[in-house]
Structure 1
Amino acid sequence: MGLRYSIYIENPLSSPSSSYKSISDPLFHSQHRAQRNTCFITYGCRHCKTHLSSSFQIISRDYRGRTGTAYLMNKVVNVVEGKVEQRRMLTGDYLVCDILCHWCKRNVGWKYLQSSNDDQQYKEGKFILELKNICKCT
C-alpha cells in the first residue's frame, strides 16, 4: 500500500502561499476578474471530502453529465484518470477518460482528451465535475 497525498485548496485571496494557484500569476488575474466579488468555494468528493477544485476554476456551469448538472473546470487536483474511451455526446464524439477521487476511487466526472470537431477543441484537457458526485467543502 502506497502513501496517499492530498492537495488542500485554500482561498487564494486570503492565503496565497498555500493555494495551488498563486495570485501573482497573471493568468489568475485574467481568468478571475469577474469572480473577485463572488464567494470562493472549494469543491470536494461527496463521499470522502477530498478537495478537487474551486469556484475560481469553473469555465462553465452549463453542462450535463450522466447524473445531471455538471461544471466544466479548468483544473482539478487529487484525481486519477481511468481507462481512455471514445464517447458520443450531444456536441460530437470525444476521446475521454473518467476521473476518480484519488482517495476513495469514486467517479467524480471525466476529462476531455480529444475532440473530433474543430469547434469543440477548447474542451481538450478540461474536466467535467458532476454535481451529484461532489460537494462544497468548508
Structure 2
Amino acid sequence: MEEMVGPRLYSCCNCRNQIALHDDVISKSFQGRNVADVYCCDCREVLGWKYERAYEETQKYKEGKFILEKSKIVKENW
C-alpha cells in the first residue's frame, strides 16, 4: 500500500516553521541588490530577502519575489 505524503515544502532551519511550498519555487539562481530582509514569523530568524526593484527590463519579473537562502531552510516531505 502506497503511503500518503503531503506536499514538498521548505521550513525554517531554526524552528521548523513551514515557510514555502516547493511548487511555488520559480528559480534557484536569483541574485539581487535592492532587497529587504525576510524573517521567520515564529522565531525571527533571517531566512532571505525580498527582491524589491529591478533596473533592467529583462529582470522586472523578479520584483516582489522572495529569495530564501539554502542554509536557512530545510526540506520537508521529500
Tell me, yes or no, whether TM beats 0.5. yes
Task: Count how many residue pairs are aligned between Structure 1 and Structure 2.
Answer: 73
Which structure is richer in relative contact order (CA contacts within 8 A, separation 6 or more)? 2
- Is structure 2 residue 60 aligned with structure 1 residue 121? yes
1:98–1:109 contact (8 Å) kept in structure 2: yes
User: C-alpha distance in 2, partners of 1:137/1:45?
Assistant: 10
Choose from 40, 50, 68 the match for 1:111: 50
User: C-alpha distance in 1, partners of 2:28/2:72?
Assistant: 15
Tell me by how many angstroms 1:106 deviates: 0.7
User: C-alpha distance in 2, partners of 1:60/1:136?
Assistant: 16
User: C-alpha distance in 2, partners of 1:95/1:121?
Assistant: 12
Runs ≥4 residues deviating over 6 A: none
TM superposition score normalised by structure 2: 0.80
Identity of aligned residues (%): 35
TM superposition score normalised by structure 1: 0.48
Comparing both structures, which one devotes a greater share of its residues to strand?
Answer: 1
Render the CA deviation track for 1:11-48: whole Å, top value 9, x for unaligned. Answer: 4xxxxxxxxxxxxxxxxxxxxxxxxxxxx411010000
- Is structure 2 residue 66 aligned with structure 1 residue 131? no
Choose from 50, 56, 59 the match for 2:17: 50
Tell me by how many angstroms 1:62 deviates: 2.8
User: C-alpha distance in 2, partners of 1:53/1:62?
Assistant: 17
Letter in 2 for 1:52: I
Structure whose CA Rg is larger:
1
Helix, strand or coil: the match of 2:27? strand
- RMSD, matched Cα: 1.9
1:70 corresponds to which residue? none
